[in-house]
Amino acid sequence: MKKLKYYILDVFTNQRYKGNPLAVVWSDEELALSQYYDIAREFGYSETSFVFYSAAEKAFKVRSFTPGFYEVTGAGHNLLGAVCLALIKGWDIFKEQGDNKWVVIQDHKIPLVTSTENGVHFVAMKQQSSKILDAVPAALVAEALGLDTEDLKLCNWLPTVVQTEVAHLMVPIKNNDSLKQALPNNDLLKKISAQYGFEGFYLFTTDSSEKDYVAETRFFNPAFGINEDPATGTAAGPLAGYLNAVSHISQRQAYQILQGVLVNHASSIQVKVTPEGIWVSGSSVIVMEGELVI
């Protein structure tokens, strides 16, 4: 019998019981794949991250899993929450890296910028520049979301697959009322994502219920065991790239995306598009901690 320390954080927020809940487990060694799956399923959050410090690679390493037996390779709340935890706990994860900070997920180096203001730790993760891929017929997407095609008419934008770390479908929604009314058919969503080669559906409207946000969003990814996610960094990056491509936002300027309102976990995701890549940023707070047994 072995015990591992775990932490529960709310990510993309500085308030407890808001944001996207994330379990982070510290392990000094790699676990069996079945153990990763079992622990992630036991926690039941959209993602569970497993972390340790590799002296050989001089880096903090993260592996993340969904309850649906899938390993996440993108830099989203799974990575941001893990790094925020290290900062909150005072773990010196950048001690051998000099001025340029980075962590590793699935053998990929993710550049970071960290800061602290009034005791709140803020982490910015650099994603790759966005790739605008295929459009998906609006009527097909609307049917899977329980909406009319008219509900997807926003600035003549089309549902479009966009990729930074991973590919998601950006789904324009005409207003906040239509965004609230979406009632996904998971079987149809799975069929569409498999047919067009992407992961999740990121619904967005520029008609946000809150001021100071460039967009309000909802995210569905039933193919990987995620029904509705309160905050999705791997989708916020592609959305920023898409909005920049259609000239709705400018480069080198920070914008806020609101997500999670309808699941009572409002989250604030900051994005900034640069010529070198897209920065996705936010903060996190610890909600609880304890030990698990394997």
For residues 210 and 200, give the distance between their C-alpha atoms in angstroms, rounded to a whole number: 24
Residues written for the chain: 294
Q: What is the pLDDT of residue 128?
A: 95
pLDDT, averaged across the chain? 96
Q: pLDDT tens-digit profile of 208-260? A: 877 899 999 999 999 988 999 999 999 999 999 999 999 999 999 999 999 99
pLDDT band at 74 (very low <50, low <70, confident <90, very high): confident
What is the rounded CA–CA span in Å between residue 180 and residue 43? 27
Task: Provide the 8-state DSSP code for 98.
Answer: T
Look at residue 111 in the predicted model and tell me its pLDDT.
Answer: 95
Alpha-helical regions (H) of the chain: 33-43, 77-89, 138-144, 176-181, 186-196, 233-245
The token pair at 43 is 């926690």
pLDDT tier at 140, thresholds 50, 70, 90: very high
| Segment 149-192, tens digit of pLDDT | 999 999 999 999 999 989 999 999 999 999 999 999 999 999 99
Question: Rounded to whole angstroms, how far apart are CA atoms 277 and 46?
Answer: 26
Residue 73 pLDDT level (bands cut at 50, 70, 90): confident
Distances (CA, A) of 48 to 11, 37, 171: 12, 9, 26
99 has a pLDDT exceeding 90: no
Phi and psi at residue 202, to the nearest 5°: -110, 95
Structure-model confidence comparison of residues 25 and 75, the more confident one: 25
CA pair distance 36, 55, nearest whole angstrom: 22
